[in-house]
């Protein structure tokens, strides 16, 4: 297929595809799916070999967020029956992180619900970072605390944070349909503050919220321009009790096309398969490893994920290998610009897609698999052992 040959050539040269080419990837048929995956896989292997980076989430503060993000189970007015608790103590955060590191994670992502941290919150997170680094000297720590105020990114870096996550989530044109309590520009500004402080920027999206193909291409092109080191790709988890509970628009094939398009647009960036992979990719998760080079291990913020050992088995069975702690994640040209892991010394938070053109999805959307959405009941904030 001429399109795929062109995209592979551009990916190997780190050349930006055209919008038309990106849209064409999303419009390919299921009959062409393996060719699309194989083509994007060539780009993935050029820059990342067969390595898979493991990341582990620690939810420092769960629920009761004042923001109204429609996709989120922690949002204002959410009726989702999730775990709700206030800040973990530093030793609790360190203990939670240890489970992920023991499972092979080289990055720990510290996440807290809310619009953004107060200065006291930054102190709390700084103490947690210091406790984790003291116990695991080589581990990367990424913070995800919402919108940042002046100087907070610098303080997090001084405390030892390597990265900061703040996702764009969707296109600028549709952002107001998803969230009204802050703006798309607010999110861009926070990512830029993190970059200015020398933190490795981590920013991605959520697919499956009813957006069009054009919306998906818009947000991915915006991410390419923003130039984060890592791009987490979440597939909407339609929690009961949230406004998007009925948005079951994704097929495994659709998810793979989205991941392939992102890899072509962001060829040398850490593309991370994040929340919702078990719900929407299901048995086709191993194919996605040909497109992404990073995943979350175990559970997510408020939902349960695949068992950690199952993740490790999947990676090995698919012919990939877990990235070691001493390995630099990013290609040399990116790592030299920002640090070994894409951070200053070497990206986060997960929380599907009705096609704009029916011809893009020749097969029907399957029935909603609400049985696959499991609220997290273990790990941080509970007395039960985590899944890692």
Q: What are the residue numbers of the active site?
A: 65, 69, 72, 109, 142, 202, 272
Check: CB of residue 241 under 8 Å from CB of residue 79: yes
Read off φ and ψ for residue 76, nearest 5 degrees.
-60, 125
Q: Is 224 assigned to a binding site?
A: no
Contact present, 109 and 125 (Cβ < 8 Å): no
369 is in an annotated binding site: no
Distance CA 43, CA 267 (A): 6
Per-residue burial over 81-119, b = 16 or more CB atoms within 10 Å of its CB, e = otherwise? ebbeeebbebebbbbbbbbbbebbbbbbbbbbbbebbee
Residue 255, annotated as binding a ligand:
no
The Cβ of residue 295 has, within 10 Å, a number of other Cβ atoms equal to 23
| Residue 348 labelled as part of a binding site | no
Question: How many angstroms separate the CA atoms of 137 and 277, rounded?
Answer: 30
Q: Whose CA is closest to 193, among 142, 152, 144?
A: 152
* C-alpha 65 chain-centroid distance: 20
144 is in an annotated binding site: no
The stretches of 49-114 forming alpha helices (DSSP H) are: 90-102
Q: Is 109 annotated as a binding residue?
A: yes
Residue whose C-alpha is closest to residue 260's, from 240, 243, 284, 226? 284
341 is in an annotated binding site: no
Question: What are the binding residues for [4Fe-4S] cluster?
Answer: 65, 69, 72
Question: What are the binding residues for [2Fe-2S] cluster?
Answer: 109, 142, 202, 272
Question: What are the binding residues?
Answer: 65, 69, 72, 109, 142, 202, 272
């Amino acid at each position: 297929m001429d399109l795929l040959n062109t995209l592979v050539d551009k990916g190997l040269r780190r050349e930006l595809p055209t919008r038309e080419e990106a849209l064409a990837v999303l419009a390919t048929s299921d009959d062409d799916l393996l060719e699309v995956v194989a083509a994007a896989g060539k780009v993935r292997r050029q820059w990342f070999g067969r390595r898979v980076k493991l990341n582990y989430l620690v939810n420092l503060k769960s629920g009761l967020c004042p923001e109204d993000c429609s996709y989120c189970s922690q949002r204002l007015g959410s009726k989702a029956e999730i775990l709700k608790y206030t800040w973990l103590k530093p030793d609790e955060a360190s203990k939670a992180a240890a489970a992920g590191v023991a499972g092979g994670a080289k990055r720990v992502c510290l996440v807290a619900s809310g619009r953004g941290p107060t200065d006291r919150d930054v102190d709390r997170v700084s103490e947690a970072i210091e406790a984790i680094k003291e116990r695991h000297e080589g581990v990367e720590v990424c913070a995800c605390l919402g919108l940042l105020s002046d100087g907070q990114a610098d303080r997090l870096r001084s405390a030892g944070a390597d990265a900061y996550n703040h996702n764009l989530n969707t296109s600028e044109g549709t952002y107001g349909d998803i969230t009204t309590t802050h703006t798309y520009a607010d999110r861009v500004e926070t990512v830029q503050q993190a970059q200015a402080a020398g933190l490795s920027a981590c920013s991605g999206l959520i697919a499956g919220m009813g957006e069009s193909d054009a919306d998906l291409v818009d947000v991915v092109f915006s991410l390419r321009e923003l130039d984060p080191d890592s791009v987490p790709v979440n597939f909407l988890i339609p929690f009961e009790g949230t406004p998007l509970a009925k948005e079951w628009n994704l097929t495994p094939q659709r998810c793979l096309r989205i991941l392939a398009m992102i890899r072509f647009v962001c060829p040398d960036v850490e593309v991370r398969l994040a929340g919702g992979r078990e719900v929407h990719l299901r048995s086709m998760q191993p194919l996605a490893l040909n497109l992404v080079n990073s995943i979350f291990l175990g559970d997510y913020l408020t939902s349960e994920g695949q068992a950690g050992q199952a993740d490790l088995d999947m990676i090995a069975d698919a012919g990939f290998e877990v990235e070691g702690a001493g390995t630099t994640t990013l290609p040399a040209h990116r790592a030299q610009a920002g640090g070994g892991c894409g951070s200053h010394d070497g990206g986060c938070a997960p929380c599907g897609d009705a096609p704009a053109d029916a011809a893009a999805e020749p097969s029907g959307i399957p029935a909603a698999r609400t049985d696959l959405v499991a609220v997290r009941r273990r790990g941080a904030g509970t007395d039960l052992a985590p899944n890692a």
